Amino acid sequence: MPRPKFAAAARPELADTRSRRNLRGATAALRGREAAAAAGTADWEDLREAGRAIGDGALLDLDAHLEELERAVTEAGGTVHWAADAAEARLVVTGLVRATGAKEVVKAASATTREIGLNDALARAGVTVRETGVAEMVVQLGEDAPSHLLSPAAHRDRAEIAELLRRAVPGAGPGLADDPEALAAAARTHLRDRFLRARVAVTGANFLVAETGTLVLLESEGNARMCLTLPETLISIAGIDKVVPTWDDMEVFLQLLPRSSTGDRMTPYVSSWTGVTPGDGPRAFHLVLLDNGRTRALADEVGRAALRCIRCSACSNVCPVYERTGGRPYGPVHPGPIGAVLTPLTRGVESAADASLPYASTLCGACADVCPVKIDIPDVLVHLRGKVVESRRRRPVPTPEMALMRGLAWTMGDPRRHEAAVRRGVRWARLLSRGGRIRRLPGLLGKWTEARDLPAPPAESFRGWWDRTRA
Amino acid sequence: MRVALSVACFEDVLFPGTAKAVTVLLERLGHEVAFPPGQTCCGQFHWTAGYHREAAGLARSHAAAFEGCEVVVAPSASCAATVRADYPKIARAARDPGLARAAEGLAFYELTEFLVDVLGVTDVGAYFPHRVTYHPSCRSLRTLGVGDRPVRLLRSVRGLDLVELPSAGECCGFGGAFAMKNADVSVAMVADKVRHVRDTGAEVVCAVDDSCLAHIGGALSRLRGGVRTMHLAEILAETGPA
Ligand code: SF4
């Protein structure tokens, strides 16, 4: 079954009052903290500009930086694998896991593995995946889809999380309190022996430093760090857009990311790892570099700005649409405003679901205001809407919308045609109105009057008044 | 000063009172108002809906309609924002440097910008003895950055009791085609906006965009909300009994 359009996927989410209340609470809290952190950083605008410039610079010579990265990783004893798309990435990772003979992997901090559908692929290969991030674990236990980029369980409240843990964690018992500390402790106990048992770990990475071949990961729980140190084999998977040229660039991002994602000045755990070190940590290290449409986005003059994204989720937290729908209607890849552009940029707008994403925004601009790397998301949305319309122009029979928009433009293209149409329209609209309001419009406009009235047009337009009184 | 008026296409038909109020107001302040007849639509709707070719055509004729005008004033922040912020983009998409130049040549202002920045007035001599709240529309707030200009104008209106709108900066959910394409989300958003408006106890909610007011007013009307929507210009044009 094809994925539904955004509007259809949003409907059940809008009806889920509990999830809406939880999301509203979570985004409002984060929004407040982020705003305070930005306001408390004197050179915030300079930092944003630096982030934008580094991002653009990195993308400009992406191929050179990637080659440098591969060289550095290899020199440090790691192996680099290139994956053109999700299927190839799945194949590479399952192959690597199989080669170790492990039946279980621990996994942490990776939206990229979600993007390629790794869990299912490993399950099909007979390998059990254990999520180690508390929120991911909750999503896995609840058997639902993540709703937020950084806190995938933002739609769940503490009572629900406690219930899921009570059921899943042996020994957590019915007495498990639903305060955050008790929940985190229960999750940690649950995870501890898994870490000690695990022979293979799969992680993501926030940044890939080209000059040194170093991967950098920011997290608040410390669970990902366990994955980086305890297992024998470490497989890290990251999009090719995560490359930054030099270590110095991290100075900027290590300030921007925590402030924009959680409103903290620093991230509790910043881990960096480079290849393998004899006698310490994993004995084998694999880096899987994923394209999956990123070079396609890179080729788009306007759209490539979206590849600067550092996945802080600030845009989601201020987005009034996201606040009401959560992340799931945006599809399986990236939620929120950035997802509404990245998904169609990397996958194209051929499917109805992907083509609906650029319209999942009122273009209010709140996202662009907060983005730490200054991505003008509304600009990219409008650009992509243009692509959607262009792709529809080739159809032999125009859609009703296309016919309407073309007709409107033709009418408005000439003042006389326009005036005549206005006169006709006013007469017609007044016939539909009752007591000064229109409660039901026909055709495509009917969506407006499902829950809103339209004022009936007064008998005289401004033009008419002007001609009568001033001309 | 001779001020050319830019009236949004739907404003002309659905909210003629707004442009009349601007005319009355500017004439009261001693200026000559002109209404260049060639104008139809700025092209915003087509541009944001993705109909970029059509938008370019409309933008060209809109810019041409105001060619040679000393100053153009629009009571619609979103139209002013389209001319100022989007025309360069429309020109780029259409590879039309002529349009970019034409847009650059226009002195195009949103009404409150014009009053406060160009004319240097915040007290326009209005009298409006009602409890009013102000909704800052997204395009006025973020694209144009009109800031507190509308609020300063409202504060100078005699008799007016200005009350603050909770979560004022949050979008009302209109967004042009969004209100139709994502009607359910749009309605969820305007429901919250209307709740905030009613929480203020105001009789009137005003804005500098009739599009948002049509949305908020449409929801209020369906709810029989007991709150009126008015364009800021209509309030500024009121002088009460002589
Ligand atoms: S687009 Fe900007 S604000 Fe949104 S997640 Fe990416 S970096 Fe953060």
Q: Residue A424, class by beta-carbon neighbours within 10 Å (0-12 exposed, 13-18 middle, 19+ buried)?
A: exposed
Closest CA to A272 of A211, A197, A319: A211
What pLDDT is attached to residue A48?
96
Distance CA A335, CA A341 (A): 10
In sequence order, the β-bridge partners of residue A217 are A271
Give me the pLDDT at residue B156, please.
96
Angle at A115 between CA A114 and CA A116, to 5 degrees: 90
**B157: closest CA of chain A, how far (Å):** 25
Which one is predicted more confidently, A439 or B171? B171
Identify which has the larger pLDDT, A19 or B204.
Answer: B204
DSSP A2: P
Residue spans per domain, chain B: 2-118, 131-236
In whole angstroms, what is the distance from residue B55 CA to residue A399 CA?
18
Q: What is the pLDDT of residue B242?
A: 60
Question: Which residue among B41, B50, B174 sits closest to A389, beta carbon to beta carbon?
Answer: B50
CA distances from A323 to A13, A108, A146 (A): 11, 26, 14
DSSP secondary structure code for residue B158 in this structure: B
- pLDDT for B27: 96
- Among A27, A49, A56, A312, name the best residue to mutate to test ligand 1's pocket (greatest count of ligand atoms within 8 A of Cβ): A312
For ligand 1, say whether the CB of A151 is within 6 Å of any of its atoms: no
Give the largest CA-CA distance in chain A: 91
Query: What is the structure's pLDDT at A157?
Result: 78
- Model confidence at A139: pLDDT above 80: no
Q: Which residue has the higher pLDDT, B21 or A155?
A: B21
**Lookup result for tokens 């273009």:** A363
| Percent of residues, chain A, with pLDDT higher than 70 | 97
Residue A298 · residue A60 · CB < 8 Å: no
- The predicted structure's pLDDT at residue B99: 95
Terminal-to-terminal C-alpha distance of chain A: 61
Task: Tell me the shortest Cα–Cα distance from B185 to chain A, in angstroms.
Answer: 7
ipTM rounded to 2 decimals: 0.96
pLDDT-derived band at A1, boundaries 50, 70, 90? low
Query: What fold, for A41-292?
Result: Rossmann fold (3.40.50)
CA A45 to chain centre: 23
| DSSP bridge pairs for A243 | A208
Any ligand 1 atom below 6 A from CB of A384: no
Q: Which of the following CATH numbers is that of domain B131-236: 3.40.50, 3.30.1330, 3.20.20, 3.90.550?
A: 3.40.50
List pLDDT tens digits, range A231-287.
999 999 999 999 999 999 999 999 999 999 888 888 889 999 999 998 888 999 999
Chain B's closest residue to A450, CA to CA, is B183
Q: pLDDT tens for residues A268-284?
A: 899 999 999 988 889 99
Is the CB of residue A118 less than 8 Å from the CB of residue A128?
no
Q: Is the dihedral of CA A170, A175, A181, A183 positive or negative?
A: positive
Residue A169 has pLDDT above 80, yes or no: no
Spell out which residues of chain A touch residue B141, defining contact as CB-CB under 8 Å.
365
Nearest CA to B209 out of B112, B126, B72, B129 is that of B112
% helix, strand, coil for chain B, step of 5: 50, 15, 35
- Give me the residue spans of the domains in chain A: 41-292, 400-470
Nearest 5 degrees, angle CA B148-CA B153-CA B155? 90
Q: What does the DSSP 8-state code read for residue A456?
A: P
A343-383: per-residue pLDDT in tens? 999 999 999 999 999 999 999 999 999 999 999 999 999 99
What mean pLDDT do residues A98-126 have? Answer: 91
What does the pLDDT read at residue B41?
Answer: 92
Rounded to an integer, the average pLDDT of B190-199 is: 95
Nearest CA to ligand 1 atom 3: A371
| B20 vs A40, higher pLDDT | B20
Q: pLDDT tier at A90 (50, 70, 90 boundaries)?
A: very high
For the whole model, what pTM was predicted?
Answer: 0.93
pLDDT band at residue A173 using 50, 70 and 90 as cut-offs = low
Gap from CA of A468 to ligand 1 centroid (Å): 53
